[in-house]
Every structure is written in structure tokens, then in C-alpha cells.
Structure 1
Amino acid sequence: MPPARKRPRRYDPAKTRAAVLAQLGQVREAVRDLDSEPVLRLTASVAASLAEVGHAVARPAGPRATLTPAEWFLAPGTGPSASDAPLAPLAPDAPLTPLADVERALRDLLDAHPDERLVETGAGVMTLDDFLVTRLVHLVLCADDLTTSVPGLDVPLDRQALAAATRVLADALALKAPGGSTEVRVPPYAVVQCVEGPRHTRGTPPNVVETAPLTWLRLATGRLTWPDALARAEVSASGERADLSGLLPLLP
């Protein structure tokens, strides 16, 4: 018998909004006086990602939500713009919106719309604040990309932003590979069961994967491969069903 479907994880709207603004603020401050090509590409990606919030609000939406944040990441054609946009070359005449202006516009938009507002994301209808969870993933990834690609730069990660990004991508794994034979632990933020096979009920699970939040995000988005993570001891995997290489990355 397949495992019972769990209720979708709920995210606190106030915490989500605060995390989006906090992580955006960290990125804005980190790149304030920088204008190298990698920085410009990544900040342009942040601006484009957050502009999607306004586009989603502007579109006519259906009468009910059809997607959870985890389902959005697995919907055809969505994928995180974070995976590709930072690597795309900027057009010579591409307009660059200052992140201070992006932040101001986002604050105004959030002040004008309640958290239960339904929006059309292009992949389906979500609440505004559930869609913001998908933007959190992009913001955290861009902060990490800036840290790893710009020498001497260390962009702080907002704890709530990192927690939400970790949880939503762990839930996406559980949706992609439903089951209860493998436990994936990303302390201190997420634990999910996934992969078809004998279901664990008590004691120590026979198949366990454990890694850190930032490593998990890199694995889920293809920034880090499963073999490399194992070789660097950045992930531990025990049990015959603990090999996630066939499931990662989650996002194209």
C-alpha cells in the first residue's frame, strides 16, 4: 500500500515576507559598490526573479490555488531562473534595475496585497506568499552564487530564507520520488521520507541521507553533483536505497 499523502507544508506569511526582504537586503548591501560582470549578471537575475511577483499579481488568477510551492518546482517549464539566469550573458544595452529600486517596489507591492491573494504564476495558481517561497529559493541561490563566484565576497544568508528554501526543495524531492524507504535529513530544517520500497516504521531507518542545508540546495539545483558531494564528505548516505544520484538535480 502506498504511503498516505501528507498535507502540504504551510509557510507563515509574515515570516516569508520578512525573509524575502531580509535576504534581498543582504544581497543589495553586499553588491552595493561592485560592478563586475558576474555581479551584474547575478543582480540582474535577482531583479528579474522578483519582477515575476508583480507579473503574477497582475495576471487574472483562477478561483483557487492549484499548486503548492514544492509542486511549482516540479511543474513543466518552471525550473528556478536561478539555475540559468546567473550564467546568461548580459546584453550590452540591457537595462539594470538597482536593487534598492527592486526592494522599494517589492515592499510597495506586498503592502498593497494580503497574503491570501491568489496569483497566476504561469504554471498554476498559488497564494502570493506561497509564490514568494519560490523566490526565496532564488534569492538564497543567488547569494550563494555571489559568494562562490566573486573573490572576497561573503553574502550572509538569512536564517528564515535558508530554512524555507531547504524545506521546499526537500518536499519537492519527496514529491518526485514518493515512498517511505529512505529518510533524507537536512538538519536543522528538514526531514523527509521518499523513494519506493519497504516503509520504515520505528528505530533507525535502514536508508539515510544527511547533509547540510546549503549543500542540499546545491545538490538540488545541480550546482554540486552527487559523486562530488560524496567525495568531499559533504553528504553521508547509508543503505542500498540511499543513492540519490538518479533523482538529482531536482531542477533542470
Structure 2
Amino acid sequence: MPPAKKRARSYDSAKIRAAVLAQFGNVRAAVGRLTPEQLALPSGLGEWRVRELAAHLCMAVESVNLSIEQEGRTRDRDRRGAPVTLATWPFATAAHAGAISGSVTAYAASAAPDELFARTAARIEALLPGADDDRVVAMRLGAMRLGDYLVTRTVELIVHTDDLNRAAGLAVPFDRQALAACTRVLADALAVKAPGSATEVRVPPYAVVQCVAGPRHTRGTPPNVVETDPLTWIRLATGRTDWRTEIDAARVGASGERADLGGLLPLMG
């Protein structure tokens, strides 16, 4: 008998909306204090400086505004592109990296960072409360439910807040709900990429998933277990670090013959 299909994880809309706004607020406050020297520092992401990284963080939320506005004008489904779900979104981003990079560079040059964040904050406060989670919005990657798209914003905000902290020597806090959602999206992506139940991946306190083909575990301690903390998991899943580095640093614990995830990571770049 084939294994039962795993049900997609659900997210509380009110908590996700609050998490996106909270993490955006955390970043906005920090970016507003950056000096010209800090803005000119390398971001660690290709040719971007911290200025472009800050602009990308702002665009993660500004894209919500643009999507809500565009939905009101775009009724033809063919113009929205192929459907994208939370399960497929992490794997769809790489193909658009070049176009995104070009857009970020232009956006960063259009105004000072604090002005970009102020504009986006005013727009999201006006547009988001009246927007239905079930409306389908057009994105660069395709068509997606607004509710799901907002979940993806937690990934963008958390991943790049971590980038900003490391690049500019900051300590921008991570909203707990945003960090939890980001961790879960990337854990679920691993289960999609490597379906199965042979290995249990634990990222306390936010996520536990089973993945990797092999003998199914039913009771007791699983024979193959991977455990790490949320930020290490996020860095692994997005290619900010690699499996062997984190194993050697004891930030990842792995036991069992099917507990080596090195060949499955990163999940998105």
C-alpha cells in the first residue's frame, strides 16, 4: 500500500501578516541607522553592497504592494503565469536570480534606503488590511495565492536579515513567528526534494520533517536523525554555508547511514 500523501502545512494568516510587518520594521529601524561607510560594505552576495542588500529587503515587502495592485488590473489567468505553491516556490527562485539582481540594483539607485523603506511601509499599511489571502497575485515566478506569497516573504526577510547582520556587523532581531515560518518552509522543501520517511530532520523548536527514501520508521528513536538550530538550518538550506563545515563545527548533529544531507543542500540560493 503506498504511503499516504503528506498534507500541506497551514499557516495562521494573522500571525504571518504580523510577522512580515514586524520583521520589516526590525530591518527598517536598522537600515535607518546605517552610515554611508556601512552601506558601501560588501554584502557577501555577489557584487551587491549593503545598500543593494537593504534595497532587496525592502523589495521583499514592496513586491507585496505591487502584487496587490497588479491583481486589480490583471484578470486574464494566462497573463499571471503558471501556478506556484509554497511547496514549489523554493525551487523556482534560482531561474530568476539574474533578473532579480538587475531590478535590485536599479531600485537601490532610485532613492536613499530610508526613503525606500518609508514609502513601502506607508503602502503596505494601506494595501494589506483589505487584501484577501485567497486572491491570486501575479509574480515574476508565476501565479500564487496572496496568503502563500506572504509566507514566502518571511523567508526573504529572515534570510536577508541574517545576511545584513553578518555583512554590516549588526544584530537586527528576528521576529519569532517570521523565523518559525521561514524554518518550516525550508524544512518542508527538503521533504519535497527528498520524499520518504527514513530520516527525521529536527530544527527545534520550529520544525520536524521526515524525508529520504528508505525503510519507514514507525516507533521509538528513528535510526537516522539530523538536528540543528534554526539559523544554521536556514544557512544550509540557502547555501550560506555547507554541510561539512557545520558538521565539523558541531552545529549539526547527524546519526545514521541516511543522515548525510550534504548532497541535497542547498535547496535554494
2:59 maps to which residue? 48
Structure 1 stretch 204-213 or stretch 67-76: which is displaced more?
Answer: 67-76
Structure 1 stretch 1-10 or stretch 130-139: which is displaced more?
Answer: 1-10
Shift of 1:241: 0.5
Answer yes or no: is the 8 Å Cα contact 1:79–1:251 preserved in 2.
no
2:175 partner letter = D
Shift of 1:3: 2.8
- Distance in structure 1 (CA, Å) of the matches to 2:85 and 2:201: 20
Answer yes or no: is the 8 Å Cα contact 2:133–2:146 preserved in 1.
yes
- Distance in structure 2 (CA, Å) of the matches to 1:183 and 1:48: 35
Shift of 1:80: 7.7
1:98 partner letter = L
Answer yes or no: is the 8 Å Cα contact 1:74–1:176 preserved in 2.
no
Unmatched 5+ stretches in structure 2? 41-48
Answer yes or no: is the 8 Å Cα contact 2:20–2:154 preserved in 1.
yes
Say if 1:146 and 1:244 are closer, same or farther in 2 by CA, change over 3 A.
same
Identical-pair percentage: 53
TM-score calculated relative to the size of structure 2: 0.83
1:241 maps to which residue? 258
Say if 1:80 and 1:182 are closer, same or farther in 2 by CA, change over 3 A.
farther
1:168 maps to which residue? 185
- Distance in structure 2 (CA, Å) of the matches to 1:199 and 1:55: 45
Answer yes or no: is the 8 Å Cα contact 2:227–2:252 preserved in 1.
yes
Answer yes or no: is the 8 Å Cα contact 1:187–1:213 preserved in 2.
yes
Structure 1 stretch 117-126 or stretch 187-196: which is displaced more?
Answer: 117-126
Secondary structure in structure 2 of the residue aligned to 1:69: coil
2:59 partner letter = A
Unmatched 5+ stretches in structure 1? none
Shift of 1:108: 1.5
Shift of 1:111: 1.9
1:197 maps to which residue? 214
- Distance in structure 2 (CA, Å) of the matches to 1:189 and 1:80: 28
Q: Does 1:94 align with 2:105?
A: no
Secondary structure in structure 2 of the residue aligned to 1:223: coil
Render the CA deviation track for 1:42-101: whole Å, top value 9, x for unaligned.
2111122223223333143649x94332321123656789xx85x999469821352122
Answer yes or no: is the 8 Å Cα contact 2:58–2:117 preserved in 1.
yes
TM-score calculated relative to the size of structure 1: 0.89
- Distance in structure 1 (CA, Å) of the matches to 2:162 and 2:205: 19
- Distance in structure 2 (CA, Å) of the matches to 1:89 and 1:125: 21
2:254 partner letter = A
1:119 maps to which residue? 137
2:45 maps to which residue? none
Answer yes or no: is the 8 Å Cα contact 1:207–1:239 preserved in 2.
yes
2:90 partner letter = F
Render the CA deviation track for 1:99-122: whole Å, top value 9, x for unaligned.
122122112220231222222334
1:106 maps to which residue? 124
